[in-house]
């Protein structure tokens, strides 16, 4: 089969877009794992909440994209704050399983609560841009996608700036690299953990809000993305943010290519197959350090 260059480019661009969304979710998950050593099962629902806030804010603000996005991000930051102080702060260190159960409970309340209030029916969301877009050769990309991709890239730049150029970002990295040592040099674990949760929630809310005008908004949307994000942080190496981001981008493109040429089942399964292979060959993940903890 001759491969059409335009088709391939179209697939790659779609994949990149998908990959950016994956990367946003996985980066937050990896950040929370690195700093708090917990796996956040409610992470997908944080994305869903971001999408719902966007879906309600957009019509209320007359379809204006940027103000609605700002509302969604603000709501996400608030949600992250409540999530941390209301629940995660009450867990002790090394409470790995309890953290899973608590966040799973939160995820259930958010997911089914949303379904109870707004029904499981998907919502369609319109923006000021409608279906207008830009054309690259014969490929057309809608503005909502271009802006979403731009926002995601900006978010990564912002994340890099925080982690490497600010005091509290350095504290966060210190805790995730060597917890005991960081605590010894006087890093305050509470505020570091809170900051990590809030940043992760905002990244997730951004992903959800950016997805809202592109995909259908429904309560279940976060769950499946979350499971993929789990696979991504395993592939990238638990707690490695750059690993999670690269794995996210790669998976998005890979899935898009596979979807373009093979049966749909292979597209969905790809991430899990890669994850299983990584676990068997290199359990610490592609970007992870050799595991010290064997708990």
Partner 1 sequence: MGRSKQLEAAGVVIAVALLIFLPRVSSDYVVGIAITAFTFTVAAAALNLVYGYGGLLSFAQLAFWGIGGYCTALWVMDAGGSFWTGLALAAGLNAVLAIAVGWPALRLHRDSFVIVTLAFSLLTFLVARDWVGLTRGPLGLPGLPAPTLFGTKLASTQSIYYLSLAFLVASLGVLYAIVTSRIGRTLLALKQNQPLGLAHGVSPTPYKLFAFAVSAALTGMAGGIQVFYLKIVDPSILDFYYIQAWLIMVIIGGAGTFWGVVIAGLVMAALPEVLRFSNELRMVIYGAILVVAVLALPQGIAGWLRERRIARLRATIERA
**Contacts with partner 1, residue ranges (CB under 8 A):** 39, 87, 90-91, 96-98, 100-102, 104-109, 111-113, 115-116, 223, 227, 230-231, 234, 238, 263-265, 268-269, 272, 275-276, 279-280, 283, 291, 293-295
Give the residue with the Cβ less far from partner 1, 15 or 37.
37
41: tokens are 């099962």
55 neighbors 256 (Cβ within 8 angstroms): no
Nearest approach, Cβ of 135 to partner 1 (angstroms)? 34
Q: Do residues 285 and 235 touch, judged by C-beta distance below 8 A? A: yes
Output the smallest distance, CB 218 to partner 1, in A.
Answer: 13
In this structure, what token pair is assigned to residue 66? 């940027």
**Beta partners for 140?**
135
Choice between 104 and 139, CB closer to partner 1: 104
Token duo for residue 3: 């491969």
Instruction: Give 184 or 280: the residue with its C-beta nearer to partner 1.
Output: 280
Count CA within 13 A, CB hemisphere, residue 159.
Answer: 26
Beta carbon of residue 105, minimum distance to partner 1 (angstroms, whole number): 3
Residue for token digits 């999670």? 244
Indicate the angle between helix axes 167-177 and 5-36, nearest 10 degrees.
Answer: 80
Shortest Å, Cβ 120 to partner 1 = 8
In this complex, which beta carbon is closest to partner 1, that of residue 145 or of residue 228? 228
Min separation Cβ 272 and partner 1, Å: 5
Our CB check for partner 1 shows the closer of 1 and 265 to be 265
All residues at 6 or more sequence positions from 34 whose CB lies less than 8 Å from its CB, including other chains? 172, 175, 176, 196, 238, 239, 240, 241
H-helix segments, the chain: 5-36, 43-60, 65-86, 96-118, 143-165, 167-177, 179-184, 189-211, 221-236, 241-261, 264-281
| Nearer residue to partner 1 within complex by CB, 143 or 227 | 227
Cβ(54)–Cβ(72) under 8 Å? yes
The rounded radius of gyration (Å) of the Cα atoms in the chain is: 19
Q: How far is the CB of 130 from partner 1 (least distance, A)?
A: 32
CA distance 48 to 234: 22
CA atoms within 13 A on the CB side of 205: 23
Give whichever of 37 and 144 is closer to partner 1, judged by the CB atom: 37
Q: Would you say 87 or 168 has its CB closer to partner 1? A: 87
CB of 148 to partner 1, least distance (A): 26
CB of 273 to partner 1, least distance (A): 9
What is the Cα 195 distance to its own chain's centre?
16
CA atoms of 239 and 127, how far apart (whole Å): 36
């Amino acid at each position: 089969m001759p491969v059409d260059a335009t088709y391939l480019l179209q697939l790659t661009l779609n994949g990149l877009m998908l990959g950016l969304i994956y990367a946003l979710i996985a980066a937050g998950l990896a950040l929370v794992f690195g700093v708090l050593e917990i796996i956040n099962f409610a992470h997908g629902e944080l994305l869903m909440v971001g999408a719902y806030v966007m879906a309600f804010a957009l019509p209320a603000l007359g379809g204006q994209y940027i103000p609605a996005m700002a509302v969604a991000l603000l709501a996400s930051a608030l949600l992250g704050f409540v999530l941390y102080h209301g629940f995660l702060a009450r867990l002790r260190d090394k409470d790995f399983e309890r953290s899973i159960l608590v966040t799973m409970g939160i995820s259930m309340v958010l997911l089914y609560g949303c379904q109870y209030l707004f029904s499981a029916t998907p919502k369609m969301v319109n923006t000021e841009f409608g279906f207008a877009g830009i054309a690259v050769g014969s490929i057309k990309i809608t503005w909502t996608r271009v802006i979403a991709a731009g926002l995601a890239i900006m978010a990564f730049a912002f994340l890099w700036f925080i982690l490497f150029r600010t005091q509290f970002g350095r504290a966060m990295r210190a805790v995730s690299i060597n917890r005991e040592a960081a605590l010894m040099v006087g890093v305050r674990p509470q505020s570091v953990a809170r900051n990590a949760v809030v940043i992760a929630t905002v990244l997730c809310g951004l992903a959800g809000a950016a997805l809202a005008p592109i995909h259908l908004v429904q309560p279940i949307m976060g769950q499946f993305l979350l499971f993929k994000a789990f696979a991504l942080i395993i592939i990238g190496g638990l707690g490695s943010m750059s690993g999670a981001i690269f794995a996210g981008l790669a998976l998005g493109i890979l899935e898009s290519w596979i979807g373009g040429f093979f049966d749909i089942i292979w597209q969905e399964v790809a991430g899990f197959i890669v994850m299983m292979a990584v676990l068997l060959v290199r359990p610490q993940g592609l970007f992870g350090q050799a595991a010290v903890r064997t708990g």
